[in-house]
Amino acid sequence: MTSTSTTLPRPPGFSLDLRLQQPLLIVLAAAAPLVALAFGASWVRVLDFALLYVLLAIGLNLVVGFAGLLDLGYIAFYAVGAYTWAFLASPHFGIHLPFWIVLPLGAAFAALAGIMLGFPTLRLRGDYLAIVTLGFGEIIRIFMNNLNQPINITNGPQGIDMIDPLTIAGIDLSRNLDLFGMQVPSLVLYYYAFLGAVVLALVLVRRLQISRVGRAWAAIREDELAAKAIGIDTRMMKLLAFALGATFGGVSGGLFAAFQGFVSPESFSLMESIVVLTMIVLGGMGNLAGVVFGAIVLTALPELLRHFAVPLQVALFGKTLLDPEVLRMLLLSLAMILMMLWRPAGLLPARTRYAHREGRKA
């Protein structure tokens, strides 16, 4: 803990061999659904969900990884985005607005929720903040679950169904597209739409990270007092982190609602917040590549366990000792503990090494 590095802050991310990596990644990302399709459409669906989680993880990383604020209620913003879409594009209120209105609105509401949460809580100590955000997440979920009376707003625990699919430029992504006599499955269409959103998010966040704002966040994360002393408006910067992080959550939530066609409060439990947190812990807080990696691995994990862990157990012991759900929980919690104990920077750590303050009140 005393290894005090004095390397100058250098923006983390896909650095140095960027020229070589980038084309490779682009090809990989573009070809992924087609490869997955060969193994069955369900794998494409897993990829689609993985991209939504990548978006969530990028947003949470902004708050936790960049600004160092532990948010345990992040899924609330996802819920706000999803419900905004459900309200404004479903038969529930009989409103059917197009995505270019609904999605930005959802993002804006989520950002607003982020500010509402951030405003009163940002002067709290780190761990108090964690538990207040946890409470906030639960409060949002409980309200969603109960606001069907006295006036029916959210339709309560029954959720909202028949939600409009994503329609871009007249193309309904929930139908297979006939492209010059070739059928492009709906899931692949969604994949590219989500991929577009993720790429956009990555570009934005990378720009942000190397901007003044990004450096201010890093300063706050490493030493808030010092940051204040050099003239950073820490409150404003933290609020900005909360609002921007929430925005990504809102977008992801809106896309989720359109993709799934159904939202209900049970999709926004505390466990989901924890899962997203684990994604960035596993991949490497503060490092975009790591965060993307963590999100993909953990979304695919249940599927992989289902395919490999169960047959393996049957082969070894003749029966399934631990079902995939239990294994997943076990691996998630172990990942959190072991990563913090042995690799606190994650599997793909951020390249930048900041001076670590000695002492526990960093």
CA proximity to 117, closest of 77, 174, 160: 77
Distances (CA, A) of 344 to 219, 272, 328, 339: 19, 21, 21, 5
- The answer to whether 142 contacts another protein (rule: CB under 8 A) is yes
- The answer to whether 226 contacts another protein (rule: CB under 8 A) is no
Minimum CB separation of residue 129 from another protein in Å reads 9
Minimum CB separation of residue 26 from another protein in Å reads 26
Amino acid at 281: V
Taking the least distance from each CB to another protein, the nearer of 145 and 167 is 145
Taking the least distance from each CB to another protein, the nearer of 202 and 332 is 332
Site for another protein in 233-262 (CB under 8 A): 260-262
- The answer to whether 362 contacts another protein (rule: CB under 8 A) is yes
Minimum CB separation of residue 16 from another protein in Å reads 26
Helix (H) or strand (E) holding 179: strand 177-179
Site for another protein in 34-63 (CB under 8 A): 40-42, 44-46, 49
Taking the least distance from each CB to another protein, the nearer of 47 and 195 is 47
> Locate tokens 């999803």: which residue?
82
* Phi, psi (degrees; rounded to nearest 5) at 95: -105, 135
Count the residues of the shown chain that bind another protein, applying the rule CB under 8 A.
79
The count of residues in the chain is: 362
Query: For residues 199 and 191, what is the distance between their CA atoms, to the nearest angstrom?
Result: 12
Minimum CB separation of residue 33 from another protein in Å reads 13
Taking the least distance from each CB to another protein, the nearer of 14 and 33 is 33
Distances (CA, A) of 341 to 87, 285, 288: 44, 14, 21
DSSP secondary-structure letter at 9? P
Amino acid at 131: I
Cβ atoms of residues 174 and 165 within 8 Å = yes
Site for another protein in 159-178 (CB under 8 A): 159, 161-162, 174-175
Taking the least distance from each CB to another protein, the nearer of 312 and 362 is 362
DSSP secondary-structure letter at 210? T
Query: For residues 333 and 353, what is the distance between their CA atoms, to the nearest angstrom?
Result: 27
Minimum CB separation of residue 110 from another protein in Å reads 19
CA proximity to 186, closest of 27, 303, 41: 41
By CB under 8 A, name the one of 5, 93, 96, 266 that touches another protein. 266
Residues 308-337: x where in contact with another protein by CB under 8 A, - otherwise, as a string: --------------xxxxx--xx-xxxxxx
By CB under 8 A, name the one of 9, 29, 145, 313 that touches another protein. 145
> Locate tokens 């995939």: which residue?
324
Cα 143 to the chain's mean position, in Å? 22
Q: Which stretch binds another protein (CB under 8 A): 99-107, 108-116, 149-157, 238-246?
A: 149-157
- The answer to whether 93 contacts another protein (rule: CB under 8 A) is no
